[in-house]
Structure 1
Amino acid sequence: MTSNQPIRAAVLGASGYTGADLIRLAARHPNIQITALIAKAHAGQPLGQVFPHLGSLDLPQLVTSDEVDWDSIDVAFCGLPHGTAHVEIAKLPERVKVIDMSADFRLRDLSTYAEWYGGEHGAPQLLSDAVYGLTEHYRDEIAGARIVACPGCYPTAVLLALLPLVKEKLIASEGIIIDAKSGVTGAGRSLKQNILFSEAGEGLSPYGIGSHRHVPEIEQEIGMAANQAVIVNFTPHLAPMARGELCTCYVQLPSGTTDADLRGALRDAYAASPFVRVMDEGVIPATQHVRGSNYCHVGVFADRIPGRAIVVSAIDNLVKGSAGQALQNFNVMHGLDESTALEQLPLFP
């Protein structure tokens, strides 16, 4: 940063869970001035009326996008739903940097987007401006980007665990099995029967079996690391908790490779990364140990099946899986310390 002027930020989708967590974190950022909060259905209301836990903040009331003076905005954090974000982002002035938490700019192939998201992309001309926002693996590209497409929560947990191992050829890119579990906030804030308390509480259920939209994103990035097309077996589950995500990945090892080799490669890959912690041998990652934080915990375990290993990662889906990663990317884009406003430790118990 060469200027002490505050960076003026707008939050699109400020009434959603990811928008609220972005506001919670960004409100304490020394370089950010939250200038506009955009939430169509709640326009005209004060933030504290929608989110009482944020009521102590001195922030502008919620407005529609059309009411914003975009000449007074430097960066837009976008927490809009998939399929909606690209329409709004396309309207923004080119000078406004965008950090998008939807899926609209994650996939590099337009036909893949249309297949998995049920329609043609509304702003294909902007795809060349977008960089995949997995901070630990794309720092250099993010630093000079106009649009950063933050990864989905599941891909964040999976890719942080597996990408270094694929790149170093310590695991096979074929035969990867991913068993994933997420808290109900991963489904968003709109009313859905399966996330009602009486439906989701005291139970555990898979969903999107064989067809979850995060699959092509995971395959895209692992395929790029492996320099070949890959197919993964991915099944997510809805867990009866508000926050948290746990991904258990079953992988094949080349002859002579051990779990210690995997652990060592992960430590080397993330030696300069403040938010990825590779656990000591035998220490099991758990969602309650990252809750409310921007940390990702990764553990490696030998499988009882010869030639296989189990890699487990845990994140908070709303922080490292969305808003926290967005703020981490903001810091990289603006030449700030990557950890700024993300130093908070996990909440436990």
Structure 2
Amino acid sequence: MSDNGTNGNGAVNGNGKKTLLSLVPKTDVKQTLKDFKTDQEVRWCPGCGDYAILAAVQSFLPELGLRRENIAFISGIGCSSRFPYYMNTYGFHSIHGRAPAIATGLATSRPDLSVWVVTGDGDALSIGGNHLIHALRRNVNLKILLFNNRIYGLTKGQYSPTSEIGKITKSTPMGSLDAPFNPLSLAIGAEGTFVARTIDSDRKHLQSVLRAAAQHRGTALVEIYQNCNIFNDNAFEPLKDASVRDDITVRLEHGEPIIFGADRSKALRRSPSGSFEVVQVADVSTDEIAVHDAHNPDPSMAFALSRLDQPAFEHTPIGIFRDVDRPSYDELMAAQLAEATETQGKGDLAALLSSGDTWQID
């Protein structure tokens, strides 16, 4: 057993962080996007943001060089949950909200797999909220892609746990009264070790975040702003509108000063209360500008960043908010099992079931 309480498996990536991908068998054959496409007709509404996310994932996975039979996509219920049908890997279309639970069983029993969860804001944060937060706090070796379109799309346009207050939908004709979840704040509050946000239409940024998530040791949650052009069109339009997006999008890069704006004239400064405030670069000293530290074990900075765009998209951070190293649940469980086997032997299930007091019923 290694000195950090793990079983010592895994490798270290270029950033000095431990990764468990070394346990997943590699392929000797060069892969392309076509290798990850199935013969199934992709059936989402024309113009849906899911198409862009699917294409980004299919074109990014060949970079990992993993055997396709050692990759699994697990989904729940919703538009996004059709994902496993379109990935030429193993997959499981499970039940509403339970994808993290099913994926946890798979990841902990099969360390030779790269396990991905595909879910939506309704699937993950309503009926599945309990499963999501416990996967995050346990740090199971899962990669969770949370498609957030702020609406229930599959069931035709009811408000979701991320819909804004006052949202008028078929189920809230007078406007929603519910205060919405912030998925990143929730994940950071659950001590998620990798928490990120990206946008369906920004393929380069989306794939850069996916690369980092794939290499992460434990649970990686990636919130993807995804447009539902049928029931909630233009929900994130300010972040896509070329005339304003650069002025309101705060791109986070670990170790870099948080400066943004079309002319790089804006910056973030940490206030005495711990929150962030937007300042003009010309009005502050270099030392006052916050430097992003995704590896800080204290989650307070990441949490403050996750609150920056509340309640509207006036200034919206995207990128990796938190990326800290902690032993994964899978590693700790394997070490515990190895220790029990070493001290007590392999055991005999049949003998265990028939041991102790028994009764015969006539």
More RCO (CA 8 Å, sep 6+): 1
Which structure's CA Rg is the greater one? 2
The TM-score, its normalising length taken from structure 1, stands at 0.33
TM-score of the superposed pair, with normalisation by structure 2: 0.32
